[in-house]
Amino acid sequence: MSGPLLKVENLAKHYMLGNGFLKQNCPVVRAVEDVSFSVAPGETLCIVGESGCGKSTLARLLMRIVEPTSGRVIIDGTDITEFGPHALRVWRRRMQMVFQDPYSSLNPRLTAGQIVTEPVENFERLKRKQREALAADLLQEVGMRPEIMHRFPSELSGGQRQRLAIARALSLRPPLIVADEAVSALDVSVQAQILNLLLDLQQNTGIAFLFISHDLSVVEHIAHRVAVMYLGRIVELATCEALFANPTHPYTEALISAAPLPDPTRVRPGAPVEGEVPSPINPPSGCAFHPRCPHAIKRCRQEMPPLAPMADGRLVACHVRTGAPAI
Ligand code: SF4
């Protein structure tokens, strides 16, 4: 069996607030803390959580758009965490990103054809005919007519712009695309078209996706596995089926119970999570979820629960649900 395409080990990102002379006195935001997971070829791993849980920072760490404080990012067995700019540029062929807002992530001065072929032209010079043929192929692959290659982003709809962003990400044929809230800015009907496009692309090309979303109905539709983040840490990692059928961490349970169902006569079991996400500058002691958790015991306020394997293979960070003795 081949190894994972992407492996993340103990990744962390801390931001020091202020620029005081005594750095040790500056407050620290722990945006991402001790995050580990892997993505297999052809797999879709979704990262979910409320806004501010660190999922977008995690996406930027993987792409090295922001530098990690510690931990490792390994792609195809190569640790790229320490790569310099040149090696990083070459490695970026292996992993591309699609952002939430296609309008601000596309250069408004370039035509659709120039946008989708730009990544390839960063590596090789194309003749005009080659560029047009490549642009036509990429646009058709994401369900757009080749004539669109002469239009500018401002002349396209939101859904067309996101298709364009996906075509650009596909142009280097990466085995993995990181999609950060890639459908959140779109209307529901357009969302469905883009999600189906991603599923078709995966089926046809075997591409893997790391899909960041706060929308559980989207996640349920496309994920093979799901990692739930809370205050910078993964608190549950399970197959999509297992997670939705039997959420185990109290936070996962609350998130799923708050997600709307297409049938208004049905309600999800459990109570939605109450209260606000605590500040990452001054997180609660022990389990960071304890101020909002209806199952908290004394131990939860004192000890941080480790991410522990359960009988069905999922990982859960909870003293109560993993059966640690109560204190
Ligand atoms: Fe709730 Fe305690 Fe489990 Fe944290 S460790 S989720 S506070 S029961």
Alpha-helical (H) ranges within the chain are 55-62, 85-91, 102-105, 112-121, 128-141, 158-170, 188-205, 216-222, 240-245, 250-258, 298-302
Identity of the residue numbered 120: V
CA of 304 relative to ligand 1 center, distance in Å: 9
Residue 21 lies in a domain: yes
Domain-located, residue 18: yes
Give residue 28 CA to ligand 1 midpoint distance, Å: 24
Q: Is 45 a domain residue? A: yes
CA distance 327 to 324: 9
Band of pLDDT at residue 22, cut at 50, 70 and 90 = low
Q: Report pLDDT digits (tens) over 33-77.
A: 999 999 999 999 999 998 888 999 999 999 999 999 999 999 999
Q: Cβ distance 198 to 33 under 8 Å?
A: no
Full domain range(s) for residue 248: 6-316
Q: Is residue 326 in some structural domain?
A: no
Residue 93 has pLDDT above 90, yes or no: no
What's the chain's length in residues? 327
Residues 104-116 pLDDT 10s: 888 999 999 999 9
Q: What is the CATH number of the domain that holds 307?
A: 3.40.50.300
**Tally of CB atoms within 10 A around 191:** 20
Q: Would the CB of 317 count as within 6 Å of ligand 1?
A: no
pLDDT in tens, 255-310: 998 776 666 666 666 666 777 788 888 889 999 999 999 999 999 999 999 999 99
Closest CA to 11 of 77, 78, 57, 76: 57
From ligand 1's centre to the CA of 24, what distance in Å?
A: 30
Q: Is residue 1 part of a domain?
A: no
Separation of CA 311 and ligand 1 centre (Å): 19
Mean pLDDT, residues 166-189 taken together? 89
Among protein residues, the one with the nearest Cα to ligand 1's atom 7 is: 290
> Which residue's CA lies nearest to atom 3 of ligand 1?
318
| Vertex 68 angle, CA 9 and 284, to 5° | 80
The DSSP element (H or E) to which 191 belongs, if any, is helix 188-205
CA 183 to CA 175: how far, in whole Å?
20
Residue 73 domain-assigned?
yes
Displacement of CA 181 from its chain's centroid (Å): 7
User: 233 in ligand 1 pocket by Cβ < 6 Å?
Assistant: no
Sheet holding 44-48, edge to edge: 95-98, 176-180, 208-213, 44-48, 225-230, 233-239, 315-316, 308-309
Q: How far is the CA of 234 from the centre of ligand 1 (A)?
A: 13
Q: How far is ligand 1, taken at its centre, from the CA of residue 289, in Å? A: 6
Atom of ligand 1 nearest to the CA of 290: 7
- For ligand 1, say whether the CB of 296 is within 6 Å of any of its atoms: yes
Give the DSSP H or E segment for 178.
Answer: strand 176-180
Beta carbon of 235 within 6 Å of any ligand 1 atom: no
Which residue has a Cα nearest atom 8 of ligand 1?
Answer: 296
Any domain includes 266: yes
272, 44 Cβ separation under 8 angstroms: no
Q: What pLDDT score was predicted for residue 20?
A: 60
Q: Name the pTM for this structure.
A: 0.90
Provide the percentage of residues in the chain whose pLDDT is more than 70.
Answer: 92
Answer yes or no: is 134 within a domain: yes
**Is residue 298 in contact with ligand 1, taking CB distance under 6 Å?**
no
pLDDT in tens, 212-234: 998 998 999 999 999 999 999 99
CA 184 to centroid of ligand 1, rounded, Å: 30
326 has pLDDT over 60: no
Residue 1, pLDDT > 50, answer no
Mutation to probe ligand 1, out of 274, 315, 318 (largest number of atoms < 8 A from CB): 318
Q: State the residue for tokens 């022990």.
A: 286
Structural Rg of the chain based on CA atoms: 21
- Please count the structural domains in the chain: 1
Phi-psi domain of 49 (left: phi exceeds 0; alpha: psi -120 through 50; beta: other) = left
Choose which residue among 231, 290, 297, 310 to substitute to test ligand 1 binding: the one with the highest number of ligand atoms within 8 A of its C-beta. Answer: 290
pLDDT digits (tens, 9 = 90+) for 119-157: 999 888 999 999 999 999 999 999 999 999 999 999 999
